[in-house]
Amino acid sequence: MAAAIANRPYVPADSLVGRLIASTDWPAYVEHAFVRQLGQGSLPEACFRHYLGQDYLFLIHFARAYALAVYKSDSLAEMRHAAGMVKALLDVEMGMHVEFCAGWGLGEAEMAALPEATATMAYTRYVLERGQSGDILDLYAALAPCVVGYGEIGARLGAEPAALARNPYRPWIEMYASPEYQQLVTAAVAQLDRLGRTRMTDARFPALAKTFDQATRLEVGFWRMGLGLES
């Protein structure tokens, strides 16, 4: 695992996120068959479109989770960070996602009317439940695998020329490999460290690692849902 962490300049091994990554089966997520096929350009288009539609629904709940983080915050700085994430999701990422999906024949009204797949419901409700029953650190631990994992996947695939040349999924890869998204990941890692400095104890780490691990496994389930066209 140490070698893998070395390839994540924005995730120091001694950071809280680095420790959490080391406690779970991270490669099962970031090296999933869905990701490998996407990088090779061999992922069936039907699988990608199914994933895109469910990801639209996922992002709505992700924004709700960051709105919950505003409520769970103990300081104005924490509130501003969470509110900034809500704004970025609603005003930037959702717009980019809708525009991107249009290129794949998916309109926003069509995606909004989609029934949520079981994997989508399981993941989003888990994140919200952890935020509702725990504190802001629990919530951010549940949110972190998505933010950090997509950053790693984008950076890795974006650095592989074969992943970009004549790859129909090149725009998706470039979106998550972009400096703007990588900066968002860096900020998320730093924020979790800041929260950990005031709320983290050695006794609490196993429970936090369990939350991070569960969210990571739900990410794996989300890829499996896309690859298997699961409803």
Q: Cite the active site residues.
A: 146, 219
Q: How many whole angstroms separate alpha carbon 105 and alpha carbon 99?
A: 10
The candidate with the shortest Cα–Cα distance to 142, out of 93, 207, 76, is: 207
Short-list 2, 25, 5, CA closest to 213: 25
DSSP state of 106: -
Residue written as token pair 């984008």: 154
Instruction: Please list, residue by residue across 151-178, b when 16 or more beta carbons sit within 10 angstroms of its beta carbon and e when fewer do.
Output: bbbbbbbbeeeebbeebebbebbebbbe
Which SS3 state, helix, strand or coil, does residue 168 take? coil
CA angle 95, 144, 13 (to 5 degrees): 130
